Structure 1
Amino acid sequence: MDKLTTDTLLKPDMLAVLSRTHLQVNLHGFLLPIFEAISNAMHGIEEAFDDSASAEKIGLVKVTFKDWTDPHKIVVSVSDNGAGLHDDNYRSFKTPFSGAKLSQKGRGFGRFIAFKVFARVVYHSRFAFFGSTDVRAFRFDVNQEQELILLQDQPVFEGTGLAVTYDQPLLGWHDLIRALKADDITDEIGAHFLPYFLYRWLPQIIIQFDEGEPIDIRSRFQGMFKKFAEGTITCDIDGAPEELSYSLAKLPRTQQFKSHCLLLSAADRIVGTPRDLSNKIGQPFFFDENGERYVVIAVVRGEAFESRLNDSRTGINLGPRTVEDVVSHISDVIQREEHAQIDKIKSDQSVELAEALRENPILKLGLRGKTVSDYVKAKPNNWKPEQFISDLAIERYRATADLTKQIVAASANADNYEATIKQIVAKIDAGKKETLAEYVIHRKNIIALVEVARRFQDNGKRAPEDAIHDLVFRRFSDSASVDYFEHNLWLVDDALAFLPYVSSDRTLHGGRRGKGDKVTDLLFFDDSMILGDNDGTTLTIVEFKRPSRNDYAFGSEKDDPILQVINTLDKATAEGGISKTDGTYFSFANVVRRFAFVIADLTPTMIKVLHKHDFQNGWNPKVFVRYRERDAIFIQAFGYDTLIENAKKRNHAFFKVLLDE
């Protein structure tokens, strides 16, 4: 046999591609085949009428839903008056991932997505053929070896065009179909093609539900979406600057658009779910001059999105940091455009903070001479009094350090030392001294509660480590939801109280622990906290264990707390960040300092595990330490008795001076 010098590719295994394509069982997922059919209809209309002006004026897409809440009877069809499936279009239809579709910003995959929702798909087309017309009709079934089953039917419409009909929905969609609402379907279709309203032409699109009144999508939504700004932003995508175009529109607050949001556009349609901008802008909606609520919708598009659009066109392959960068840039644009609304937010924040400072006057030191308005202006719009108080607590701490430096400097000059000290002390008014005394009493009581928590209870059992964990920092929460005065991180180390972000017993993705959620099981054990600096340079892990526990085992993910700390570190740094309870993202990028505390009584098995991990306790028998060079992390391990003892020592001067102890 002669040796072959050429060969050919086999066609793609579309069933395998479909099996790897996931649709969410929601209204958007259900309507994806209809979206694809409408998009193809617009391509056919554009081809038939040559230019966008004619296509907009003459083009017609009709979407009909019959028996649409009965999954056993429902029939959905999309028809148009476009060019139809002539030979070239039919050849493209038969070619998965065709070049013709790529030239139209498509993927050549959309017609296959229908089989994730419906079992039966039928096409009818009439097209021009050498001065006359011809007809092409077939059932399309990707599950058959011969996928196109030719029919002798005639289209029910006049003139050229194409109609695609879907029925026999798959079982997994039946419950959703029973709950369908006409307004929700209409709004979802209009929102999906929002880019056409903002920067492209749109033919007439009519939706009809059974024998109801036809709904004109174009007239319904063109009056609703009012474009008021457009431009470009430059964002970092995969390490390179990319220019993206944006359009801003105002619309009345609706059930579908409850808050300001970012929509990503590719292939001239909305892709993925809206990104809520409330946290960045500061409020979910604004009020117009008539007191009516409205939201700002931002649509962002660019070539970088087109090249990262997945084949099913359900998402754009962008990392969370890239999305956060786009969100940040667009939020800045909206704030510039809506500066009057932002000024009102800042005014309200200033009033709320001024009220909070009347209750916590000691924190005014954190303003460092600024007015409340100037301080608030530089902070996020979504901050509530709790976030301001936490930030001012840190600033007060730094300002106190400055006072210390002044005292040290004054002590170097004996001649004016006494006068300088009196001048510095005069800055601390009576209200601040009273507030300080109350806080010292609070610390004394917290230490007493920890002592009680580690003893035997009335039932002869010890309290679980959760009780102490909650005293230090409430579990299943983070510093986005816990006020500075609601936690007691100073029990472990005073420096921890001033870290900008703390996550306590939460998953990286911010959701509940789910079955098979291996990241969660490995990363966050039942009693751990992760703390980080705002600039991402420090990561601290605190691991709590049950008082007097004595069943530790070296090398066990369940029973070796040192291994748990290392696994937590690995997962946290690999993930690169964590979703906060307020919906924003905290980055762990560029971590250069790593610390860990293991709070566990030094029982025989615990000491054995520490020795096997090469921990030392030469400088203090009650505190074991080790710097793991490979992981670049410094770990301290000590018991609850040491925790209490050190907390008392750090607060001894306060207790002595203020409480005469």
Structure 2
Amino acid sequence: MADTVTEPDAYQIISNFVGRVENISLPANSGNALKPLFEAVSNALHSIDDRFDTKVDLGEIEIVLLHHNNDSDLTYSGYSVRDNGVGFNDENFKSFLTSDSRRKRVKGGKGVGRLLWLKTADRAIIESEFVREARSMKRRFDFIAGEAAQIQNHAMTEEPSRQKQHTIVTIKPINATFNSHFPKKRQTISLALIRHFLRVLIADRVPKIVVTDDHGSDDLHEMLRAEILQQTDETFDLAFEDGLPAGTFIMKHMLIGKKLEDDEKGTNAIHLCAHMRAVDRHVIDNQIGLKVITGDRFYASIVEADILDKTVNQERSSFMLDRQEMQQITTQLTAKAKEFLAPYIKDVRDDQRKQLTAILEENPHFRPVVNSVEDFVETKLALNEKEDEQIYVALSRENRREVKRRDKEFKAIAKEAQHTELVEQKIASYAKFANDATKGFLESYVRQRKAILDVLQTYRGWKDAENEKYVLERAVHALICPLGGTTDSLPYDKHNLWMLDERLAFYGYFASDKKIKSFVIEEGSSGGEPDLAFFDTGLGFRRDLKRDPVIIVEFKRPGKEDYTEATDPYAQVVRYIGDLTNKTVHDQSGAVITQVDDKTVFICYIVADLTAGLLQRLRGTPITEPTPDGLGRYGHVKDLRAYVEIIPYEKLYDDAYKRNEIFFKKLGLIE
């Protein structure tokens, strides 16, 4: 028979205090450096509440910031919090000795706040005077993170005469890990306290809370009241998306001075509270489209609810709700904030309408996706989409979606077995959308042409009026066709060759400012290239049909007078014809474009003003006939099969303008 062993039938778990402190999550950063101070102030508020009940405005809290070795020029080494609350009486002291005490649960106490003191300092010194059975008592002790006795140097004395009740908690020195993150200025700490205890400070009756150091003091209640411009309170019920109630919420909307803005990103925020203390901060700048509400004021709201009180974690850093639940709550709270801020948001919407209207004027191809400016602004633009580029992107996004939707709809129409009235309506709707889009693109293109001609007109003037210097031909050349390009790299919409001749759009290959040897196959081809500063290499064009003319364009600076043998434009185009004749032209991939032989016709445009210098160079050449408008010159070089025309910049502009004038008038671009 086995021997009977007597053992207790119940055991108590032994708590390891040092391990408990170490397991508290409090990373060293600027956000956490002040949390132990917040806990000390919270305890002071609870003590005042216990003593004065509904007359909490009789309470006083003084936060004294302590300097290293009393040197006020150095950083703070610690702080003390003094209050005139009920004090460390026997009941409170017993609760203090109990890990994770539940005594203050009704006030939102987690029973772990004092442990944060020992995360940032080696010890806390507590001194308190309280009343025990009509006698004035004084208690003093040190609180440390020890393996054995965490309460040391405890002493109790009876005061001979009744003193004022008070408690002083001193935390000093702050350890190096957290001290490096502790604010260096009193006002920074005062503002942080206001933000954390905002719900307490906006109450009708509130204890006097003062922050002092060697340089002065801040009354937190007065600081806050001076900054509140407007306050509105509302109570409402919220529910989750599955229909379950989230409970009743109290939301206090305020417009507060910008000096109370904290260091976090964003200025306007909803502060979620638990037991009258701020826990989480939800920035709403993007949702309301505003950084500052009016002047130097920003929006802040305090939100309270039973569900927030019940789910706050022990560090008071977040709520133990799942991500979707939290998002559903903040989304509904943001909608409430937007209702409060509606008059200010209206200004944002008005600006968006103006910008959208202007963008549609410049980009009419977007009009088919904007049935109503008002509807588009309200349903398609987020409030933070205020810049021109953002609105343009929103239009592009919506246009792409509409095109995909229409294409899908059209494919479905094609599969319809019967041509019903509904199908006919869908076809008509699709045709209208496509037609409107086409008109829009055409209008945008015409507007672009008008803008390009305006730039060309500017280029015709002096670059330097005082010294009578014209714009260099490089600028004019680049405006009409970017330098160094070919059709391999420059699609039709990337150049403005229509200013010279609309027919150039039909040519399959061109080379801009390229050495001739770079696009002909034969060895020994000309490698010469005129000085780029004078843009003396022309533009070569040829259509896919083998016997179509090769077109050469040569630019000269507006108003150019000083021509030499090397820069004589007529001599240059003659050389180009010689260099190209009996050559095989290829593109960048090496594919053959065409053969240029002794039967190929050349059309040469020289874009240059008919100055005295140029007229002198043209003497003795076939280029003698005036154009019908009398502005230019032309002639035929029979032995080279070439037609050469001089186009002054005035003629270039006038001809291009006249070809497009009817379109400009139709769009109201000119009268």
The bucket for the TM-score relative to the shorter chain is 0.5 to 0.7
Distance 1:88 1:356, change over 3 A: same
* Corresponding residue for residue 178 of structure 2: 173
Identity within the alignment, %: 20
Aligned residues: 429
How far apart, in 2, do the equivalents of 1:13 and 1:299 lie? 38
Mind listing any 5+ residue stretches in structure 1 that lack a counterpart? 439-443, 448-661
Task: Please show how residues 188-199 of structure 1 align to structure 2 within 5 Å.
Answer: 188-199=192-203
User: 2:98, 2:23 → 1: CA distance?
Assistant: 19
Matched, 1:390 2:397: yes
Provide closer, same or farther for how the CA distance between residues 413 and 76 of structure 1 changes in structure 2, counting only shifts above 3 A. Answer: closer
Q: Deviations over 1:383-438 (max 9, x none)?
A: 33123431332124324544666677799489x99x96987764444332577999
Q: Distance in 2 between matches of 1:376 and 1:155?
A: 73
2:441 partner amino acid? K
Q: Could you list the per-position Cα deviations for residues 534-593 of structure 1 after superposition, in whole angstroms to 9, with x for gaps in the alignment?
A: xxxxxxxxxxxxxxxxxxxxxxxxxxxxxxxxxxxxxxxxxxxxxxxxxxxxxxxxxxxx
Superposed, 1:563-574 pairs within 5 Å as none
3-state DSSP class of the match of 2:131?
A: strand
Provide the secondary structure at the position in 2 that maps to 1:77.
strand
In structure 1, what residue type is equivalent to 2:231? K
Which of 224, 229, 233 is the matching residue for 2:233?
A: 229
What are the residue-to-residue correspondences of 1:121-270 with 2, within 5 Å? Answer: 121-152=124-155, 158-177=163-182, 180-199=184-203, 201-210=205-214, 212-225=215-228, 226-236=230-240, 240-243=244-247, 244-254=249-259, 256-257=261-262, 259-270=267-278
The aligned amino acid for 1:170 is N
Higher Rg of the two aligned structures: 2
Looking at structure 1, the residues matched to 383 and 76 of structure 2 have their Cα atoms a distance apart, in angstroms, of 50
Q: What's the TM-score once normalised by structure 2's chain length? A: 0.58
- Distance across 2 between alignment mates of 1:254 and 1:153: 45
How far did residue 153 of structure 1 move?
Answer: 8.5
Q: Deviations over 1:324-349 (max 9, x none)?
A: 22232122112212222122211111
Superposition deviation, residue 107 in structure 1: 0.5
CA deviation after TM superposition for structure 1 residue 236, in Å:
2.7
State the distance in 2 between where 1:29 and 1:87 align: 31
| Superposed displacement of residue 135, structure 1 | 1.3
> Does residue 1:94 correspond to 2:97, yes or no?
yes
> Match for residue 301 of structure 1?
304
Displacement of 1:364 in angstroms is 2.1
Letter in 1 for 2:134: G
TM-score (normalizing by structure 1): 0.59
Q: Given the superposition, is the C-alpha separation of residues 149 and 101 from structure 1 closer, same or farther in structure 2, using an over 3 Å criterion? A: same
For 2:189 and 2:378, the matched residues in 1 are separated by 42
8 Å contact from structure 1 (residues 366, 394) kept in 2: no
Q: CA RMSD in A?
A: 3.6
Give the whole-Å Cα distance in 2 for the aligned partners of 1:72 and 1:253.
Answer: 26
Task: Give the counterpart letter for 2:233 in structure 1.
Answer: A
Q: Is the 8 A contact 1:96 1:109 kept in 2?
A: yes
Shift of 1:251: 0.6
Render the CA deviation track for 1:199-258: whole Å, top value 9, x for unaligned: 574211111012x32221112113323422322241439994312322211112236255
State the match for 1:430 in structure 2. 439
Deviation at 1:265?
Answer: 0.5
Aligned pairs for 1:508-519 within 5 A: none
Q: Where does residue 83 of structure 2 map in the other structure? A: 80
CA contact (8 A) 2:186 2:211 kept: no
Could you tell me how far apart the structure 2 residues matched to 1:220 and 1:88 are? Answer: 35
Q: CA deviation at 1:3?
A: 3.4
Q: Return the alpha-carbon distance in structure 2 between the equivalents of residues 390 and 294 of structure 1.
A: 34
C-alpha displacement of 1:147: 0.6
- Relative to structure 1, the CA distance from residue 169 to residue 446 in structure 2 (aligned partners, 3 Å threshold; closer, same or farther) is farther
**Does 2:383 align with 1:381?**
yes
> Contact (CA 8 Å) 1:124, 1:154: kept in 2 or not?
no
Q: Does 1:318 align with 2:327?
A: no
For residues 204 and 16 of structure 2, what CA distance do their matches in structure 1 show? Answer: 35
Q: 1:32 aligns with which of 31, 35, 41?
A: 35
State how far apart, in whole Å, the 1-side matches of 2:259 and 2:213 are. 22
Alignment match, 1:639: none
d(CA) in 2 for partners of 1:115 and 1:71?
Answer: 23
How far did 1:260 drift? 1.1
Distance 1:73 1:330, change over 3 A: closer
Residue by residue over 1:27-46, the C-alpha shift from the partner in whole angstroms, topping out at 9 and shown as x without a partner, is: 43111111111111111111
